């Protein structure tokens, strides 16, 4: 990696002069950090300092890290809105816990890590209300109708997080992750930014940090994976670690035959060549049924395991190819788990389990003698040959290779098993079996100087096999093993640089989904190239800790994770709301959120276990989706509320289509973070009907230039999808709604266009799709003389809905007049047929 260059050396002095050397933030002699005279933090210690944005040197790793000119100009022109916080201590330390002031009687929304890998929101009004490992604090500043952000950063070899302190103190934790790497003086370990629009504030603040650090790129600078507009299937919940070619084939086939062709497939954990330290070094493990057993395994070769290696070209294309029964597969899997548990119990009691059967691997393929193995490459080729719509096949792997890294001595790489040490800041996070197992087994860490070789070895083989992307998991285990490698920041730099280079070379620069990554180290260091990542914990179809109500309340918790995390993570990556199961008890609840989340839609159904009626509201016949133009975020009136267990707040999330806005309203009440026990648990007293309201002002129209003008509309047509109700409202007019627990409503909000005096029109979209407005891809309105026309491009098929104050003279669809229905209250509808994926041309003539 090239040494960092001073930002002032990259850009001309003239461009820097555009910046402002002063800041709206100040640190007074009385020890108060204020913005425009309003105190945010009091009792600030003497060792804390505040510096204007333009007074601190800014860096860039390489030419790829230079910010675009438009971004640089914007950041410099707004630099007075930001300030850096620094601190110094007497003796160099590897972990500094330093109070930075008291936060008292001011509402905040924060994002904190509740597990090593996952973060979520938390609200309060006092520094002592904060949770450990807080990554972001959004402060309400009602004194001048604004908001302020506090962002812990990375500086040099150190990263920062915020912790709670006594009596309202906010504590900044600055740590290296290695006792050998110590520091005493920091000038920019945290950043403050102020703004009057919370969504602009997040964008502007992270753009400023992007210019300052030069270690990442924002989402707007990158191309997201092409799966973003498509429907897909992930193998995990169907097979877990017992995934194999026959099941994968029949999984894709099950969707394809019922009119839902998956456009992408994710072969999740279970395809790799892994084993445990006590097993033969060059053979697949046969005992992966125990809870978390794969987390003790290490990668011993880069190629697929024997289950997949045995696949012979054309094996599943033959007339009498192997059948698959999900029920039989599940039965065999349960028997394997029962056997593993029995053996474990015997061993724990000091008994002898040699009389029990050997563990086996579930396989359905039989190799034909004399026929060459084709392996993963042949399977991918056959899948794409049979299922022509399947554009992308991704596979899973852990950041360090496998959960337990790479097994020493089995590859050409220099690696060793490193002890996994949990940072003190994570001690009060939620119990996590994954953490327990990784700590137990350690990580077979490849020397960071060979990180690029590790990824090139894995990815070049996969790319040659036709794999077009990877889902990379267990990302933040890397912070456990920084002791001998310069600490967590330096180790991460080396690994993420190697990963980025491989991503560009092997997967088109964007074929990547990041997972278990929700910590600021990752976002500040890994996202030069990575453009999509998970923004929530896993989809849990039931509570793994046994709460029978978890099948319901966990789903609302998931939505809170995704929507609030997207406020900051969406600045770096396209938010991915994860898969769900279409036949789950709360499947419709999930489907409603996925429809308007702005990312891909994919499910993890068991083979043959689907709700196609539900999927039809999300997926078009060609396997594409009606995707929103932005990513879903909480509405302003939800930012400082608790939609999980305050007993009053409905979660509202907004997004934008090309010609309308959309607001999803979800009753997520009934569970959430319980600080006293450091876990999520049920709040049954809140699992009840809740009421709220929606207006056109809930949509942040200005977040896309193309929709900003809609803020000025005099009237809006609003369609409630679940209620099948269309009505007209004035700006700011509230529509009241009451929702039962784990239910939702989607509001499509379309500006009413004035065609001529007394003639008005608003396009809604396809009423049979959850994201109705996503169907309108083009729209023009105009009048010549006494004839008004509305021209639209409509994607998809079904009943098209619009508001027209006057009865149309004609509706012309793809050049032919069609029948339509119009009622005296202005509701216009007509059928749009499927045209094979091409948009339909609609012409509505009003005389």
Map out the domains of the chain as residue ranges: 5-214, 259-320+359-534, 633-846
pLDDT band at 504 (very low <50, low <70, confident <90, very high): very high
CB burial class (10 A; 0-12, 13-18, 19+) of residue 777?
middle
Rounded to whole angstroms, the Cα distance separating 777 from 761 reads: 16
Predicted pLDDT of residue 463: 98
**So what's the pLDDT on residue 62?**
63
In percent, how much of the chain has pLDDT > 70?
97
**What would the mean pLDDT of 361-386 be, rounded to a whole number?**
96
Q: What is residue 605's DSSP assignment?
A: P
Residue 17 has pLDDT above 50, yes or no: no
CA dist 505 and 675 (Å) reads: 44
Q: What is the pLDDT of residue 13?
A: 29
Has residue 585 got a pLDDT over 70?
yes
**Degrees (nearest 5) of the Cα angle 663, 668, 669?**
135
Q: What is the pLDDT of residue 340?
A: 87
pLDDT (tens digit, 9 = 90+) per residue, 262-290?
999 999 999 999 999 999 999 999 888 76
Q: Is 69 helix (H, G, I), strand (E, B) or coil?
A: helix
The SS3 of residue 624 is strand
**Contact criterion met (CB below 8 Å) for 696 and 716:** yes
Is pLDDT of 648 > 90?
A: yes
How much is the pLDDT for 289?
Answer: 75
Question: How do residues 110-135 score in pLDDT, each as one tens digit?
Answer: 999 999 999 999 999 999 999 999 99
Supply the pLDDT for residue 60: 63
pLDDT at 4 over 70: no
> What is the tally of helices (H) and strands (E) in the chain?
16, 48
- Band of pLDDT at residue 65, cut at 50, 70 and 90: confident
**DSSP output for 443-474:** EEEEPGGGHHHHHHHHHHHHHHTT--EEEEE-
Mean pLDDT confidence for 58-65: 70
Residues 335-364 have a mean pLDDT of 90
What is the full DSSP assignment across 255-284? Answer: HHTTT---SEEEE-SS-EEEE-TTS-TTS-
Residue 365 near residue 246, CB atoms below 8 Å:
yes
How much of the chain exceeds pLDDT 90, in percent?
90
Q: What is the mean pLDDT of residues 686-713?
A: 97
State the DSSP string of 706-717: GGGGGGG-S-EE
Query: Full-prediction pTM beyond 0.75?
Result: yes
314 phi, psi to nearest 5 deg: 85, 0
Q: In angstroms, what is the C-alpha Rg of the chain?
A: 28
Nearest to 683 by CA among 653, 652, 648, 641: 648
Strand blocks (E) in 276-420: 298-304, 392-398, 415-418
Higher pLDDT, 553 or 380: 380
> What is the distance between the alpha carbons of residues 764 and 720, in angstroms, rounded to a whole number?
10
If DSSP codes are grouped into helix, strand and coil, which group holds residue 609? coil
pLDDT recorded at residue 743: 98
Residue 3 has a pLDDT of: 30
Give the C-alpha separation, 771 to 677, whole Å.
39
The strand ranges marked E within 545-695 are: 574-576, 601-603, 633-634, 651-656, 661-666, 671-674, 679-682, 690-694
Residue of 132, 181, 130, 182 lying closest to 161 (CA atoms): 132
pLDDT band at residue 347 using 50, 70 and 90 as cut-offs: confident
Q: Which tens digits make up the pLDDT trace of 151-179? A: 999 999 999 999 999 999 999 999 999 99
Instruction: Compute the distance between CA of residue 352 and CA of residue 230 in angstroms, rounded to an integer.
Output: 52
Dump pLDDT digits (tens) for 412-446: 999 999 999 999 999 989 999 999 999 999 999 99
21 — pLDDT class (breaks 50, 70, 90): low
Band (pLDDT 50/70/90 cuts) for residue 544 is confident
Q: How far from each other are the two terminal CA atoms of the chain, in whole angstroms?
A: 67
Q: What is the mean pLDDT of the chain?
A: 95
Question: What's the average model confidence in pLDDT over 811-829?
Answer: 97
Whole-angstrom distance, CA of residue 54 vs CA of residue 56: 6
How would you classify the pairing of strands 38-41 and 33-35? antiparallel
């Amino acid at each position: 990696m090239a040494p960092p260059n001073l930002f002032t050396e990259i850009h001309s002095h003239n461009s820097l002069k555009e910046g402002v050397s002063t800041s709206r933030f100040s640190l007074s002699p009385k020890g108060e950090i204020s913005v425009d005279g309003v105190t945010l933090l009091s009792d600030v210690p003497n060792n804390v300092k505040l510096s204007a944005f333009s007074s601190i040197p800014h860096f860039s790793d390489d030419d790829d890290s230079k910010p675009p000119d438009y971004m640089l100009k914007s950041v410099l022109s707004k630099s007075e809105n930001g300030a850096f916080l620094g601190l110094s201590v007497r003796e160099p330390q590897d972990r500094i816990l330093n109070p930075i002031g008291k936060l008292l009687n001011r509402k905040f929304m924060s994002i904190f890590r509740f597990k090593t890998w996952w973060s979520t929101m938390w609200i309060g009004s006092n520094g002592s209300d904060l949770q450990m490992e807080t990554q972001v604090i959004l402060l309400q500043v009602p004194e001048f109708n604004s908001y302020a952000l506090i962002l812990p950063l990375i500086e040099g070899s150190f990263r920062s997080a915020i912790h709670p302190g006594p009596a309202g103190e906010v504590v900044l934790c600055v740590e290296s992750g290695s006792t050998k790497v110590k520091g005493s003086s920091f000038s920019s370990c945290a950043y403050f930014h102020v703004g009057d629009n919370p969504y602009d504030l997040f964008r502007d603040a992270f753009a400023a940090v992007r210019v300052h650090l030069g270690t990442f790129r924002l989402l707007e600078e990158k191309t997201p994976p092409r799966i973003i507009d498509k429907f897909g299937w992930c193998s995990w919940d169907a097979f877990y670690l017992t995934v194999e070619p026959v099941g994968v084939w029949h999984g894709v086939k099950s969707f394809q035959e019922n009119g839902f062709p998956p456009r992408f497939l994710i072969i999740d954990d279970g395809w790799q060549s892994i084993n445990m330290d006590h097993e033969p070094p060059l053979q697949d493990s046969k005992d992966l049924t125990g809870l978390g057993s794969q987390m003790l395994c290490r990668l011993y070769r880069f190629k697929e395991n024997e289950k997949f290696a045995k696949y012979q070209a054309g094996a599943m294309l033959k007339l009498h190819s192997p059948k698959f029964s999900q029920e039989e597969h599940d039965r065999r899997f349960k028997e394997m788990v029962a056997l593993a548990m029995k053996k474990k119990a015997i061993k724990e009691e000091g008994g002898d389990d040699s009389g029990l059967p050997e563990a086996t691997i579930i396989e359905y393929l039989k190799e034909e003698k004399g026929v060459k193995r084709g392996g993963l490459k042949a399977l991918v080729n056959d899948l794409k040959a049979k299922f022509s719509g399947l554009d992308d096949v991704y596979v899973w792997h852990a950041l360090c290779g496998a959960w337990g890294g790479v097994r020493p001595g089995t590859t050409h790489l220099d690696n060793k098993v490193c002890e996994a040490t949990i940072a003190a800041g994570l001690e009060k996070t939620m119990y996590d079996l994954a953490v327990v197992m990784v700590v137990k087994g350690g990580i077979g860490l490849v020397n960071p100087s060979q990180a690029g070789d590790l990824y090139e070895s894995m990815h070049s083989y996969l790319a040659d096999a036709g794999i077009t992307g990877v889902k990379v998991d267990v990302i933040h285990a890397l912070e456990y093993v920084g002791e001998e490698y310069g600490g967590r920041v330096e180790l991460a730099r080396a690994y993420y640089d190697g990963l980025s280079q491989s991503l560009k070379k092997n997967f088109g620069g964007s074929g990547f989904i990041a997972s278990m990554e929700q910590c600021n180290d990752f976002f500040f260091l890994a996202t030069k190239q990575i453009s999509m990542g998970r923004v929530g914990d896993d989809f849990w179809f039931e509570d793994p800790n046994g709460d029978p109500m978890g099948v319901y309340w966990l789903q609302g918790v998931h939505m809170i994770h995704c929507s609030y995390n997207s406020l900051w993570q969406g600045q770096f990556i396209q938010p991915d709301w994860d898969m769900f199961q279409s036949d789950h008890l709360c499947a419709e609840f999930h489907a409603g959120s996925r429809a308007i989340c702005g990312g891909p839609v994919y499910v993890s159904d068991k083979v043959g276990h689907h709700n196609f009626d539900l999927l039809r509201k999300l997926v078009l016949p060609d396997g594409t989706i009606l995707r929103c133009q932005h990513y879903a975020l909480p509405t302003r009136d939800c930012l400082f509320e608790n939609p999980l267990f305050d007993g009053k707040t409905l979660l509202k999330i907004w997004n934008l289509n090309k010609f309308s806005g959309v607001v999803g309203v979800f009753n997520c009440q009934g569970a959430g973070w319980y600080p006293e026990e450091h876990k999520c648990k049920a709040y049954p007293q809140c699992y009840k009907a809740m009421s709220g309201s929606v207006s056109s002002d809930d949509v942040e129209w200005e977040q896309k230039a193309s929709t900003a003008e809609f803020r000025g509309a005099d009237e809006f047509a609003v369609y409630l999808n679940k209620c099948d109700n269309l009505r007209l409202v004035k700006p700011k007019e509230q529509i009241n709604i009451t929702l039962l627990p784990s239910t939702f409503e989607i509001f499509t909000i379309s500006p009413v266009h004035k065609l001529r005096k007394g003639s008005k029109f608003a396009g809604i979209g396809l009423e049979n799709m959850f994201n109705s407005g996503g169907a309108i891809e083009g729209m023009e309105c105009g009048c010549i003389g006494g004839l008004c026309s509305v021209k639209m491009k409509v994607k998809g098929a079904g009943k098209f809905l619009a508001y027209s104050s006057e009865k149309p003279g004609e509706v012309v669809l793809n050049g032919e007049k069609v029948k339509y229905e119009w009622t005296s209250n202005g509701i216009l509808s007509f059928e749009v047929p499927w045209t094979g994926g091409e948009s339909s041309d609609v012409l509505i003539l009003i005389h």
